[in-house]
Structure 1
Amino acid sequence: MPPIILFILKALEGRGAERMVTTLASTYADMGYRPHILCLEATQDMLLDARVQYHIVPYDEMFSEQNLDPESTQAQAYESVAKRIDGYVRSQIGKPDLILANIYKINWIMAYSQLPNIVNVLHTALSKQFQNQLLEAPVQTINHLKMVYGAHPCSCVSKGARQDLIDLIENITKTTTIYNPCDAADINTKAAASSHLEHFGLVDKEYIIHVASFDDMKGHRDLLQAYAKTVRKLPLVLVGKGRLEEEIKQLATELGISDSIKFLGFQTNPYPLIKSAALMVLTSKFEGFGYVIVEAQALGVPVISTDCPFGPRELLPKENLIAVGDIDGLATLIDQAIDNLTDYIVPLNQQLLPEHIASQYLAFGSVLDSDKNEGL
């Protein structure tokens, strides 16, 4: 039987980690493996390849992530969930040759797992994600992160995110950097679908686009404040959903720029909109990788970004970057990019194509197997 590759996620929401998982799952199917995706929630914003087996092992209760005490009731509950996952995988899936556990909550749960061949995939900068906890209870928080990320080898989606992990928990586990995959062929195929620009009141190559969930880390406030300082030659299109959406709409009203901004909500297929944009802007305060950057590159769309920790600086040259929080600088960069669009087009790094990334995970897993065998 072909080897089994198992991805574990909270849910198939429309974010970077989920795009990485669905892309790699399809790639492993192409390579002759048996890919499985296991989620703890039924939410599904992402389309899934029919060759990928999809499983849901629901946890029975909602958990708070504020208490980081490994001895807490929450930790006990997570241990119970891990046992449930272990039992389900053994009985319904088999013995995976590689398990990629994605997102902090899953990393914590799987710290208690007895399944083999687990690799934690870090999609963000831990020091930023846990910034408040590290200030309020540094020793407790670092000990917790050592417990979570010391349990299994870790792959990080950028060099910066890997160094950040090592700085926090030291070299207590094997780590590597494996960037997120960009399926340029699939993105271009999806981008060929109708973008319905007329329906949205848009004109091809005559708008700026920002694609991100409405969360604090995505920097919507800075984006709107900077956009208000530009000459506003082109409208700004915001694609995504999230808890801050209404607050950002109110900010647009307060800044007097509502007429120049379009909120398009979450789009299952955002690629036609990205392809038709004049410019992609990313304004995150921190990222592990910065998926929309490489997606814009795959579509030949100019892209600029905040120079946030840690992904964008590994994907873009300095002239395409601006410091986080530099509102005036961002406004200037937007205007400069609109006036010189071709100067801000950056070709996609071909090493980010899915087959290269899939092979890197397999190679990392093989190294771990060799290490285990040597230790016998």
Structure 2
Amino acid sequence: MKKNLVLLIPQMYRGGAERVVSRLSSLLKNDYNIKVVVFDDSRISYDLDCEIISLNVPPQINSTWFSKIINVVLRVYRYSKFKRTYQTDITYSFGDTANIINILSFGNDKKITSIRGFKRVKTGKNFTEKFITKPVSKFIANKSNKIVSVSELISYNISYHYNISKDKIITSYNGYDIANILKKSEENIEQEVSDFIQNKKVIISAGTFRHEKGYWHLLKSFYELKKINDKAVLLILGEDYNGEKLKSDLLTTELKLEDSVMFLGYKKNPYKYFNVADTYVLSSVFEGFPNAMVEAMACSLPIVATDCPSGPREILEPSLSLGKKVTEPLYGEFGCLVPKFSEKEDYRANEIHDEHKSTAEVINKLLTDQQINSFYRNQSLKRANQFSYESWLKKQVEILN
């Protein structure tokens, strides 16, 4: 008899966790009775192979602490009521707020929580973390039957900072439909983009315009690259978040890069753009497990990535220990790592440092050295295939059982 499984997530509007839920709803449908429960269904970007249930308790923007507490209580009440009706056996939650509702809701279901970003592990480094968010996060972790993370570094930090047994934590790298990515990569790009990249060396990056993506580092590194390679152009895929993109627009103008940088916005099919690029660059100051980077690898793109926590080194140089610091560019087994960038946001055009120059040199080497470029194209696809749906699904079944 199939068990009743709920995938609990705040919403299904874009994002990496939302994509994972979409995949799970399809891949697990033969083994479980699945329902996806969201707090708000006003915006849905992904297809689901199951029924979606909304608790109709959307987030309250700029609300008071009292309002937020009422919001949590209402979500807990409605989800607890739903669980009784559905006779839920397992709740698998994605994201901080979903994890809270999962743990606080009433019922005898197995509670699996997931932590998908390095910064989601609270270390208690400031007053708010020390006295509010870390104790809450630690409580949730201790009450979970299992905790799922997307990298070994995140798993280590959960165990260390929350004093959780390692046996309770499972590392599950994301899985990818490589065949589908390759199929979609063959679609044609718009004429405007085609004209822009014609006879150029194309660098590409993808991700929402948020602080963690470190786009000021990418633009400054590209500025240095243009000094040594005037054929280089940069494509950036991703939607704006709270007006953050304006900072990148202004920096692009100040660096006089308008003719060499194209912002493409959010694209449902990013793979066709990966397919026409020469190198993918990840400039993040922190990550969880960088989906877009692995998808670019599936399109045989050579990778240059900052050694940010967490994800890139586990993907590009898995033999490198978690504690070893990358202090200079490293040509790894599956891609190139550069020392991690500063987390301090700095969109000032006159503040360009050695880290940007050295990153530009690595990018240029991948663009101009055909032997290295060809080697990393092969290695990228080889590594991407190791994150197949088959191996990922096997791990998810292990988690649920």
Q: Which moved more, 1:20-29 or 1:213-222?
A: 20-29
**Offset at residue 12 of structure 1 (A):** 1.7
Q: CA separation of 1:334/1:59 partners in 2, compared to 1, >3 Å: closer, same or farther?
A: same
Q: Which moved more, 1:235-244 or 1:205-214?
A: 205-214
- Does the CA-based 8 Å contact 2:117-2:288 persist in structure 1? yes
* RMSD value, Cα: 2.5
**Offset at residue 298 of structure 1 (A):** 1.5
Per the alignment, in what secondary structure is the counterpart of residue 363 of structure 1?
helix
Deviations 1:270-293 (A, max 9, x none): 111122221111111111111112
Provide the residue aligned with 1:164 in structure 2: 157
Provide the residue aligned with 2:326 in structure 1: none
Provide the C-alpha distance between the structure 2 equivalents of 1:65 and 1:183, rounded to a whole number of angstroms: 40
- Does the CA-based 8 Å contact 1:240-1:267 persist in structure 2? yes
Match of 1:109 among 101, 105, 129: 101
Provide the residue aligned with 2:349 in structure 1: none
Provide the C-alpha distance between the structure 2 equivalents of 1:102 and 1:260, rounded to a whole number of angstroms: 38
Per the alignment, in what secondary structure is the counterpart of residue 236 of structure 2?
strand
Q: Which moved more, 1:308-317 or 1:40-49?
A: 40-49
Provide the residue aligned with 1:374 in structure 2: none
Provide the residue aligned with 2:118 in structure 1: 125
Provide the C-alpha distance between the structure 1 equivalents of 2:265 and 2:384, rounded to a whole number of angstroms: 29
**Offset at residue 123 of structure 1 (A):** 0.7
Matches within 5 A, 1:58-77: 58-59=56-57, 62=60, 74-77=68-71
Provide the C-alpha distance between the structure 1 equivalents of 2:219 and 2:91, rounded to a whole number of angstroms: 40
Q: CA separation of 1:43/1:293 partners in 2, compared to 1, >3 Å: closer, same or farther?
A: farther
Provide the C-alpha distance between the structure 2 equivalents of 1:47 and 1:261, rounded to a whole number of angstroms: 29
Provide the C-alpha distance between the structure 2 equivalents of 1:302 and 1:44, rounded to a whole number of angstroms: 34
Provide the residue aligned with 1:154 in structure 2: 147
Match of 2:400 among 340, 343, 365: 365
Matches within 5 A, 1:122-201: 122-126=115-119, 130=122, 134-140=125-131, 141-152=133-144, 153-171=146-164, 174-198=168-192, 201=195
**Offset at residue 336 of structure 1 (A):** 1.4
Per the alignment, in what secondary structure is the counterpart of residue 24 of structure 2?
helix
Provide the residue aligned with 1:33 in structure 2: 32
- Does the CA-based 8 Å contact 1:222-1:283 persist in structure 2? yes
- Does the CA-based 8 Å contact 1:97-1:117 persist in structure 2? yes
Provide the C-alpha distance between the structure 2 equivalents of 1:154 and 1:147, rounded to a whole number of angstroms: 12
Matches within 5 A, 1:212-291: 212-230=207-225, 231-241=229-239, 242-243=241-242, 244-291=244-291
**Offset at residue 45 of structure 1 (A):** 5.4
Q: CA separation of 1:60/1:18 partners in 2, compared to 1, >3 Å: closer, same or farther?
A: closer
Q: CA separation of 1:147/1:280 partners in 2, compared to 1, >3 Å: closer, same or farther?
A: same
Q: Which moved more, 1:14-23 or 1:190-199?
A: 190-199
Structure 2: unaligned runs, 5 residues or longer: 318-329, 342-354
Per the alignment, in what secondary structure is the counterpart of residue 125 of structure 2?
helix
Match of 1:338 among 367, 374, 389: 367
Among the aligned pairs, what percent are the same residue? 22
Q: CA separation of 1:224/1:178 partners in 2, compared to 1, >3 Å: closer, same or farther?
A: same
**Offset at residue 313 of structure 1 (A):** 0.6
Kindly tell me the number of residue pairs found equivalent between the two proteins: 356
Corresponding letter in the other structure for 1:247: K
Provide the C-alpha distance between the structure 2 equivalents of 1:101 and 1:195, rounded to a whole number of angstroms: 36
Match of 1:329 among 358, 373, 376: 358
Corresponding letter in the other structure for 1:344: Y
Provide the residue aligned with 1:372 in structure 2: none
Corresponding letter in the other structure for 1:304: V
Q: Which moved more, 1:320-329 or 1:305-314?
A: 320-329
Q: CA separation of 1:322/1:267 partners in 2, compared to 1, >3 Å: closer, same or farther?
A: same
Provide the C-alpha distance between the structure 2 equivalents of 1:245 and 1:218, rounded to a whole number of angstroms: 11
Instruction: State the TM-score, normalizing by the size of structure 1.
Output: 0.86
**Offset at residue 76 of structure 1 (A):** 4.9
- Does the CA-based 8 Å contact 1:126-1:164 persist in structure 2? no
Per the alignment, in what secondary structure is the counterpart of residue 42 of structure 1?
coil
Corresponding letter in the other structure for 2:110: N
Q: CA separation of 1:246/1:75 partners in 2, compared to 1, >3 Å: closer, same or farther?
A: same
Provide the C-alpha distance between the structure 1 equivalents of 2:153 and 2:58, rounded to a whole number of angstroms: 36
**Offset at residue 118 of structure 1 (A):** 1.9
Q: CA separation of 1:254/1:203 partners in 2, compared to 1, >3 Å: closer, same or farther?
A: closer
**Offset at residue 138 of structure 1 (A):** 4.6
Provide the C-alpha distance between the structure 1 equivalents of 2:207 and 2:59, rounded to a whole number of angstroms: 28
- Does the CA-based 8 Å contact 1:306-1:312 persist in structure 2? yes
- Does the CA-based 8 Å contact 2:103-2:111 persist in structure 1? no
Deviations 1:208-236 (A, max 9, x none): 11110000000101100111000342210
Q: Which has the higher contact order (CA 8 A, sep 6+)?
A: 1
Per the alignment, in what secondary structure is the counterpart of residue 210 of structure 1?
strand
